Chain A
Amino acid sequence: MHLTNREMVALVHGLLIGGPFLLAFAGGLVALSGLRAEYLTTEGIRDRVRQLRLGTTAMAAMGWAIVFTGTWVLLPWYREDSPDSPRSVLLSDSSTRQWHEFADVWKTHVAFMAPILATTAAALVLYYGKALARDRGLRNLVLGLFLGAFAIASVAALLGSLIARAAPLR
C-alpha cells in the first residue's frame, strides 16, 4: 500500500480538513438552532455562545484552508499539460468530458462561496454573541448563512469525490 505525495495532499484537502468541516456543520446547526433564551439558563447560553464562537471561527478557517489548497496546490496537478493528468484523461473521452466541463469547473468556482458564507456567519456570532439567544431574526440570518455554506460545501465535496473516482490524481 503506497500513497503518492499528491494523493496525500488530496486526502488532507478532502478528508482531514473537508471531513471535519462538513461534520462540524451538524454540531453548529444544532447549537445555533437551540440557542434560545427560553430554553437555556444564563450559564447555558454563555457556554453555548463560547462553543459557537470557537466552532464557527474554526470552520471558517478550515473552509479557507480547503479552497486555498484546492486552488493553489491540487488544481495545478489536476490540469497539468500531460496526457495522464486527470483533466486530460477526462477530456480525452466524450463519455467523461462533462466531469471536467461541468463538474470540475462548477466545483472549483462555487466552492469559494462556502468559506465566504462561513466567515460571515462566524463574524455575526462573534459580534452579537449572547444576543443571538433572544433575537430570532438574527439567529435565522446566521442559520441561513450557515446552511448556505453547508449546501455549497456539500455540493463541492460530492462533485470532488465523483471526479476523483472518474480520474484520480496520482
Chain B
Amino acid sequence: MTQHVTYESTALAPPAAVDTTEETAAEIARPSGPAAAVVLAAGLASFTLGLLSVLTAVSPSISSALTLSDRVGDLSGVTTATVAVYVASWGALAVWWRRSDPPLMRIAGVAAALIALGLLGTFPPFFNAL
C-alpha cells in the first residue's frame, strides 16, 4: 500500500526558503524612508519627554507654561508636547523621506541614543540633582 504525501498539507510543507509572491517582493523593495521616519520620531519624542521633564523640574516658569490643566499639573503640557513632537516629526519626516532610502540601522542607533537620553531625563534622581 503506497501512501501519497503531498505538500498541499501545511503540516508537511517544506519551509518557504524563498517566497516569490509579488506582495512580498514589494514589501522587501520598499524604501526605508517611511520606516526611518517613525523610528527617528520615536527618538525625538522620547528625548523631548526627558528634556521637558528636566526643564519643568528646574524652572518654575517653564513648569507653569506647560501646565495646560491645573488638575493634571505640568505633566499635561509635557506629555502633550511629546505626543505633538512624535506625530509632527513622524509626518514631516515621512513626507521628506517618502521615496528615499536613508540608512535605517544608523538612524535606529541615533534614535536609541535619544531614547536613552529621554529615559535619563525622566529619572527623578537625575533632574533633582541639577
Contact = CB atoms under 8 A, between A and B. Distances in A.
Contacts of B41: 120
Contacts of B18: 37
B30 A40 contact: no
A117 B42 contact: yes
Contacts of A127: 30, 34-35
Given A71-B79, A117-B42, A131 B28 contact: yes
A116 B47 CA distance: 12
Interface in A134-170: 134-135, 137-138, 141, 144-145, 148
Interface of A: 37-45, 67, 71-72, 75-76, 79, 101-102, 105-106, 108-110, 112-113, 116-117, 119-120, 123-124, 127-131, 133-135, 137-138, 141, 144-145, 148
21 contacts: A37-B16, A39-B15, A44-B10, A44-B16, A45-B16, A72-B69, A75-B75, A101-B128, A106-B123, A112-B49, A112-B82, A113-B118, A116-B86, A117-B115, A124-B38, A127-B30, A128-B27, A134-B19, A138-B104, A141-B104, A144-B112
